[in-house]
Structure formats: structure tokens, C-alpha cells
Structure 1
Amino acid sequence: MIYEVNLPKGYIVSDDRGRIDMEVVHEALAGVYWGLDRPRALTERSWANCLCFGIYAADGGLVGFGRVLTDYALRAHLGDVFVRPDLRGSGLGKMLVEAILAHPDLASVSHWTLTTEDAHGLYQRYGFRIAEPDGKWMTMVRTST
């Protein structure tokens, strides 16, 4: 079942994968710090098994995106969230995050993660916090060979 949230001014958040314009997503991600120089094939593969969300204008054009890597039960990682530059500051990013967190298939998810260099304030309003080093979480950055 497709999940959609109607927003002010005719915008819609939808998880309908068939509506996602991959060219728009790839171009947008190629212009942000976490997606620079990412090949399109890698971008496509990265969201192939994720729950993806688009923000659509009244004319149907994609103006924002986000994806969730999840087991749909306990854990989820929010990533690749963007809003078209000319629409930033309009509240669409906030509404996208709210719609994602309210998705009924994610209702039981209690452990959420994300990474950001510049949007801490956005995510803190929804309960995300800067992780405290507690000795339990481990990470690895592996480079391709």
C-alpha cells in the first residue's frame, strides 16, 4: 500500500517508488558533500533495498528525497535527505522527516541512526541526539581495493 502525506501548497510526500525520478535524485546527490563523485549506478544500488520517499510539487515534479535503510522492526538509518536548493528554508525538509518518522511500517522501529555534518538542529527537534561515545557502537570505514 502506498503511503502519502498531503502537505501545504499542494506538496505530497510519497513512498511510491514508481514516482521517483532517479535522474533528479542522482543530480541532487552529486551536488552535496556526502554524494560527491558517487556514480549513478552506486546511488541506484544504495536505495534499491531501502524505503524511499519523494517530496512532489503540485505539478508532480520531485523536489526532495530521503531514504531509510531498515529491518522494518527494530532499526532504521535515515539517509540521503535533501530538498531542492531553491526550496530550502520552506519547511519541506521538516515535513519530510516528520512523514518518514510517521510511516506506519516503521512504527515499531526504536533504534534510529543518521549522519550529518550540518543539520543537527533539524534532527534534534525529532529526538535525535549527538551520539555519546559509550564503547558499544562500533564503526568501520572500508575503502575499495
Structure 2
Amino acid sequence: MSINISTDKQKLNIDFIHQFLTRSYWAKGRTKDEVRTSIEHCLNFGVYINTTQIGFARILTDYVVFAYVMDVFIIEEHRGNGYAKQLMKAVTECPDLQNIKRWMLATSDAHNLYKQFGFDAIPDPSKIMGKLII
């Protein structure tokens, strides 16, 4: 079965994305309005079989210096078919992102996927700071 990956926001199924994210370990409880707002301000990748959405990723970026990969998923019933690899290939090869110097992401369980695309532990994490509001 072949998939189509698109950055067209008009094709995104917000209800589908919200339903998945609100059950995920990293976005549990995120509201539909929060999902909609996050999509409005990012470069988004929808993954489709025919017209049915089966996956998603969004990239927060300035298109020059920095890209943060977020909310990457393929729904459970379509995992194991290489679709996540195809999605990450589309993200990392996207013409609009080829000037990016620093890519980042956070994951608890998909290290092996991201390592295939050059992601690794930050060499000196003491330089990275954050602010988490729970």
C-alpha cells in the first residue's frame, strides 16, 4: 500500500490529529483549540492512504537556523509498514528545510527511528536550557 505525504494544511484532519495527540504520552489532554493553534504556526506533514489520514508531524521552524520536530505519529493499525521512515524522510528532505543548521526533537521511545536520520544525543546538554510549565 502506498502513502501520500503532504504539507497542505487544508488536507489535515484536525479531529483525527487531536484524538491521537490527546491520548499520547507527550500531549495528553491537549485541547482541540491548542492543536489547531499549533498547526497554524508550524510546517505540517500529513500522511494519507488515499484520502484517509494515518499520520502526522509538525515542524516549528524559522526556515534558516532552527527546526524542532514534534507530534510525529502513525496510527497503531498502520505501524510496522515503514510509514514513519517515509514521513521522516519527507521531513528531512523537504526543500524548505534544507538550510536548517540545528534540528532538535524529544522522544521517550523512538530513538532508533530518529537515529536513521542523523539525530543523536546532544553533545553538551549543559548548554541547552528550558522552561517547562505544567
Q: Give TM-score, length-normalised by structure 1.
A: 0.88
**Percentage identity across paired residues of the two chains:** 34
Q: Give the 5 Å matches for 1:117-128.
A: 117-128=108-119
How many Å separate the matches in 1 of 2:72 and 2:121? 18
How many Å separate the matches in 1 of 2:10 and 2:37? 16
1:14 aligned partner: 6
**What's the C-alpha RMSD, in Å, of the aligned pairs?**
1.1
The residue type equivalent to 2:131 in the other structure is M
2:91 aligned partner: 100
Please say which of residues 37-46 and 109-118 is displaced more in the overlay. 37-46
Alignment length (residue pairs): 134
Shift of 1:30: 1.4
How many Å separate the matches in 1 of 2:84 and 2:120? 18
How many Å separate the matches in 2 of 1:65 and 1:99? 11
Question: 1:65-93: CA deviations, max 9, x gaps?
Answer: 00000001111000000001001111000
2:71 aligned partner: 80
1:61 aligned partner: 52
How many Å separate the matches in 1 of 2:125 and 2:58? 27
1:109 pairs with 2:100: yes
The residue type equivalent to 1:43 in the other structure is V
How many Å separate the matches in 2 of 1:31 and 1:39? 11
Shift of 1:10: 3.0
1:33 aligned partner: 25
How many Å separate the matches in 1 of 2:41 and 2:47? 19
Residues 134, 42 of structure 1: alpha-carbon distance in 2 compared, 3 angstrom cutoff: closer
User: Which ranges of structure 2 fall in alignment gaps of 5 or more residues?
Assistant: none
Q: Give TM-score, length-normalised by structure 2.
A: 0.95
Question: 1:82-137: CA deviations, max 9, x gaps?
Answer: 00100111100010000011110001002000000000010011110022444321
User: Which ranges of structure 1 fall in alignment gaps of 5 or more residues?
Assistant: 1-8
SS at match of 2:90: helix
The residue type equivalent to 1:64 in the other structure is G
How many Å separate the matches in 1 of 2:122 and 2:24? 23
Please say which of residues 37-46 and 89-98 is displaced more in the overlay. 37-46
The residue type equivalent to 2:114 in the other structure is Y
